[in-house]
Amino acid sequence: MKKKAISLLLVAAMTATMTAGCGDKQEAADNTTAGNDAAPSTEAAASDDAATEEEEEAWSGTLTVWSPQEDQDTGWLQKECDAFNAAHPNWDVTFEYGVCAEGDAKATVTTDVEGSADVYMLANDNIPDLVAANALAELGGSYLDYVTSTNSDSITASVTYNDAVVAFPFTSNTWFMYYDKSVFSDEDIKSFDTMLEKGKVAFPLSDSWYIQAFYVGNGCSLFGDGTDAAAGIDFDGEKAAAVTDYLVDVVANPNFINDADGAGLAGFLTPTGIGTIVADSTSPTTLEGKQVIELDGKEYLLEKAIRGNVAIIQGYIADESGNIRYKGSTRNFNPMMASAADIVIAEVEKIVPAGEIGPNYVETPHIYVDYLVVKEEA
């Protein structure tokens, strides 16, 4: 029991750190961190009272902690564990680290629950299977209070199963809509159709990650409430047909831009180059003079978007369909170039069967990838 309690405190501490770094309540959680027989986590100590209660007696032992490779490549996990040891000098904790991506937690942990890590990260869509395997347990006391008091209802719901909170929320996905207030009012942006009537709208309609929202919004469903595999996918019938017809009309709308070329923008304005030969179409050193646009009394150059003929990108893992996941700094520009070239060649460390990369972790959908190459070991 002592080991389990210390694992929970570590998870809570990790959650607290992440919360402090990212602000207060977030709107949607996809990843969590969990302890074996405990729950998902991030750095947020459950409470000073809980820590004091557990530190009444000394303890010495080993905790096994699993995390994605990128968390260990950056040194983040080791720093968190070192900070935990420094904060609890009465305990002599030795940490053993292992690599397990959030999306792989279900397959890895359920293979050997007793032999899995004391603390590990998981995707919240893995929760039903992990609970069924007795790899997660219900949180209570100060730990439950911490989760519910520091997260919104929607985030708490993402780590709740059968009315029990079984994980600490760790990271979340949030989407933003950027719009020009000189074109759209606060009321306009409440309606996609109204925005299409008044101005140009870019949206990644060719990305299946986003397109399903139109169908769900019209009453279709994915596996019931999202956890009922027997319910299947209800994307047929009149409701789905109506959505498909609507999307066909959207694509045909001259004000709609399918955000398939990275940012979905035709270009951007910059003051850099104003007054130089870059803006002079008569200069022999300039192939084509940049268009000068005046905005609010200031001149800008129009830099048109560049689309590549071929993009060679580097990913971490791909499935047989071509869906790609990245790690570390490879997320910076590879995903953008994958969506901004006619032909995309992706080099990855390994290829796994289709479906092994959870939908929450597909960072470049297969529709953008033409060729896969497996990296040779040095």
Q: What is the pLDDT of residues 215-262, one digit of tens each?
A: 888 988 877 776 677 888 787 788 888 998 998 899 889 998 877 555
What pLDDT digit, counting tens, does each position of 332-361 carry?
A: 788 888 888 889 999 999 998 887 787 767
What's the pLDDT tens digit per position in 99-116? 888 878 888 999 999 899
User: Is the pLDDT reported for residue 312 higher than 90?
Assistant: yes
Q: Which two tokens stand for residue 349?
A: 């460390």
Residues 168 and 117 both lie in one domain: yes
**CA–CA gap between residue 306 and residue 183 (Å, rounded):** 26
Total domains in the chain come to 4
Whether the Cβ atoms of residue 319 and residue 352 lie closer than 8 Å to each other: yes
Instruction: Tell me, yes or no, whether 316 and 348 share the same domain.
Output: yes
**Domain end point (choices 144, 172, 200):** 172
Parent domain of 249: 188-258
Residue given tokens 């919004």 in the structure block: 217
**81 and 33 share a domain?**
yes
pTM of the model: 0.54
> Does residue 119 share a domain with residue 196?
no
Percent helix / strand / coil, the chain, rounded to 5: 35, 25, 40
β-pair partners for 65: 97, 119
Q: In whole numbers, what is the pLDDT of the chain averaged over residues? A: 79
State pLDDT tens for residues 135-167: 998 888 888 998 999 888 888 988 999 899 999
| Residues 202, 272 within the same domain | no
50 neighbors 143 (Cβ within 8 angstroms): yes
Kindly give the residue spans of alpha helices, DSSP state H, lying in 88-173.
Answer: 105-111, 127-132, 141-150, 153-158
Q: Say if residue 235 is in the same domain as residue 254.
A: yes
- Residue type for 239, please? K
